Amino acid sequence: MHYKVIFPKVLFPVALVRVPSRCFSGSRRNNYQVTVIGGAGGIGQPLSMLLKINRMITKLHICDIAKFIPGVAVDLSHIETPSVVKGFKSPEQLGDALEGADIVIMPAGVPRKPGMTRDDLFKINAGLVKSIMEQIAASAPKALVAIITNPVNSVVPIACETMKKAGVLDPNRIFGVTTLDTVRANTFIAEAKGLNPYEVKVPVIGGHSGVTIIPLISRTTPKVSFNEEEIKKLTVRIQEAGSEVVEAKAGAGSATLSMAYAGVRFANSLLRGLSGEKNVIESAYVMSQVTSLPYFATPLVLGKCGIEKNLGLGELNCFEKNLLDKAISVLKKNIDAGIEFANLPECKKEHMS
């Protein structure tokens, strides 16, 4: 008798099933290594657990500054899937954790707390992202890097500038994970219309905070209809959903479980693209030329080398064009802050972080 646990295709492109080993065979590669930097945190632990049950992953490395990271690895290793889990203490073992990685997922950093702004987060997390990217440049320059660490709008430029200085920048391989904005948009609109969330798809472009998040409700699939006031309320809720979680947790944390889900969804899409699956589309915040800004989130076709094609902005209505104008002015400041930090002398960076 075979026991089956089937998960939605959007999250688990290869279902977790107890089957004979011959079912692992096939023309597509099915043995990827994923490294999670920040694997002991509120996002890192559930994210790592979900990655452990993806049969495309045979090696899962988790790294963190937390002393108990070996225990997290042992805990995960008891899950009945073939992937081998190893724990590494950062920063001293970060290079070993990265060696051989196909994908690096980075939820490392300080989460947002009540009253904390994205600027506050930037001062804390900017130096961390820079030091991690320096090690990625040295140990895994060809890995696809998915950055969850906030503020994404600013730290992705830091990541790219760091790789550029090391002479290994490939902009098709560095992603700011904005998938949670898409997940929230799908969920909220499905709830508003009584639809199955699995069947709702809302393109979300821009950035990953406040007014920089632009849900394109007019292009929702299946097509939905809202009046002007409803669209405004839904847009604001999607843009401010992170604060909704922070306030609801009353000082106990930020969006961790939903972010872990979104991070795994994006990682699985990267894996599907790497394996050769066609027409894998996810939005992400990347180095881009679709607007006047050097970074912007749009739907992307993912492939064996990361970004295969940037699908651009698409058609926007008047309301969405106004959102875009507001987003660009804020995003420019976020991006400039990241680039400026990346090019500061080391002593000033240390003072800021």
Residue 1 has pLDDT above 60, yes or no: no
Provide the 3-class DSSP secondary structure of residue 14.
Answer: coil
Q: Which residues contact 12 (CB under 8 A, 6 or more apart)?
A: 53, 54, 268
Closest CA to 213 of 190, 192, 183, 171: 183
Task: Tell me which H or E stretch contains 263.
Answer: helix 257-274
Residues 174 and 289 occupy one common structural domain: no
Q: What are the catalytic residues?
A: 208
**What is the per-residue pLDDT across 119-164, written as a single tens digit (0 to 9) for each?**
777 888 999 999 999 999 999 999 999 999 999 999 999 999 999 9
Cα 174 from Cα 188, distance rounded (Å): 28
Residues 189 and 328 occupy one common structural domain: yes
Number of domains in the chain: 2
Closest CA to 47 of 31, 35, 56: 35
Q: Residue 171: which CATH number?
A: 3.40.50.720
Reading the block at residue 160, the tokens are: 């790219």
Domain limit, last residue, from 178, 211, 229: 178
Q: Residue 273: which CATH number?
A: 3.90.110.10
Domain contains 344: no
Residues 101 and 192 occupy one common structural domain: no
Which range of residues forms the domain containing residue 126? 28-178
Task: Write down the pLDDT at residue 110.
Answer: 82
Residues 192 and 234 occupy one common structural domain: yes
Provide the 3-class DSSP secondary structure of residue 45.
Answer: helix
Cα 300 from Cα 182, distance rounded (Å): 13
pTM confidence score: 0.89
Grade residue 17 by pLDDT with cuts at 50, 70 and 90. Answer: very low
Q: Do residues 83 and 57 touch, judged by C-beta distance below 8 A?
A: yes
Q: Do residues 220 and 204 touch, judged by C-beta distance below 8 A?
A: no
